[in-house]
Amino acid sequence: MTRRNLLWLVPTAAVLLLLLPMAATAQHVNGANPAIAVAPQGAVFTMTNDPSGNAVLAYVIGPGGSLIPAGHFGTHGKGSGASLADQGSVVLTADHKWLLVVDAGSNAISAFQVNSPGGSGPILSFVERVSSHGTLPVSLTVHDSWVYVLNAGTSTVAGNIFGFLLSDHGILSPLAGSSRARSTSASVGPAEIAFNPAGHVLVVTEKNTSILDSYTVSPLGYASGPTVTSSNGGTPYGFAFGRGGALIVSDAGPGALSSYAVAHSGAVSVVSGPLADGQTAACWVATVDGGNFAFTSNAHSGSISSYAVGSGGTLTLLASIAATTGAGDTDLAVGGPRGHLLFVQDSGSEIQEFKVGSGASLTLEYAVFALPATAEGLAAF
């Protein structure tokens, strides 16, 4: 262990700070963390995005929502060392059995098996690293056995999406011929790719063009499209699916959310919005309570806004400032028992944990400081 990798864990109910050591860079944990003395309530993952060697940082959710360091796991790939301006660079399968991570600096994807947070061994076991079949992967999505990656491309190399079959052993097999273009071969600033809840449509947001791309997905996992739809608000960024399968997209330009209906054909139609939250640069979205509520993090305001998602996906602003973070918010994730914890990454170097209460109220419970400045992505269960 090294002193430069010390973590501050801060419970809001405590007066004193508790200082705990973290495993050294590129060092795997070979046994259970001795601090985990009771049954854990889930786990949280982010990645270093380090260009000299990417790694996943893991935390177990302990009693009272405490975040206990659970290891530092190398991906065998490289990060970009810079913000990916994305959502979904670190994702979990629905059964929490597999964790997938982009290695943006080496055009690859790494897969890990997720072990029991309270077990005697490490929480993650590396499975493999595979090519992303494109340049600069920034976002991943998984539904059942199908995985798609969003490759951003560069000013000279066109981006694409590409599909994989995820085996029962965590092996990613590329789907030959599954590469699909986006709305244009030009640089579009893609932010996120995700399956709809039914798994028959993929959606991609393009920040630079203010376009939503949608693709239908066959039973064999092959995407067709895209169908190109102009965004209802400027600079569509992160998104999540809410009540009734409504697509809820952050509009970073006006600082708002918009909602859409997604048809089986891949057609995307506006339901409501852009509904401004009175903040600046709404960029990431998470939904809770079966999709009845949505949160967006406002990168330039250091705040989180809350919305109700009504029948058909209609949005209602609940709180312009449901919580303040004190730093530029980046990614969001939901985890813990019954999904009652909202995790927020702030400017790459901090994770804050909020308890979700009645009416989507937020109460700060815990925080982890001193993450690497390049840290990127967030996933939890």
CA 197 to CA 217: how far, in whole Å?
12
Backbone φ and ψ for 336, nearest 5 degrees, come out as 80, 175
Of the listed ranges 7-16, 78-87, 173-182, the least confidently predicted one is 7-16
Expressed as residue numbers, the domain containing 130 is 3-380
- Exposed, middle or buried: residue 219 (CB in 10 Å: 0-12, 13-18, 19+)? exposed
DSSP per residue, 344-355: EEETTTEEEEEE
Q: What is the mean pLDDT of residues 73-99?
A: 97
- Exposed, middle or buried: residue 354 (CB in 10 Å: 0-12, 13-18, 19+)? buried
Q: What is the pLDDT of residue 63?
A: 87
Per the structure, how many domains does the chain have?
Answer: 1
- Is pLDDT of 272 > 80? yes
Q: What is the pLDDT of residue 206?
A: 98
Q: What is the pLDDT of residue 38?
A: 52
- Is pLDDT of 12 > 50? no
CA 325 to CA 300: how far, in whole Å?
11
Indicate whether this model's pTM tops 0.75: yes
Backbone φ and ψ for 214, nearest 5 degrees, come out as -130, 145
pLDDT digits (tens, 9 = 90+) for 177-235: 999 999 999 899 999 999 999 999 999 999 999 999 999 999 999 999 999 999 999 99
- Is pLDDT of 6 > 80? no
Q: Provide the CATH number for the domain around residue 215.
A: 2.130.10.10
pLDDT digits (tens, 9 = 90+) for 301-335: 999 999 999 999 999 999 999 999 988 898 999 99
Q: Which of 277, 377, 279 is nearest to 330 (CA)?
A: 377
Backbone φ and ψ for 318, nearest 5 degrees, come out as -95, -50
CA 138 to CA 119: how far, in whole Å?
31
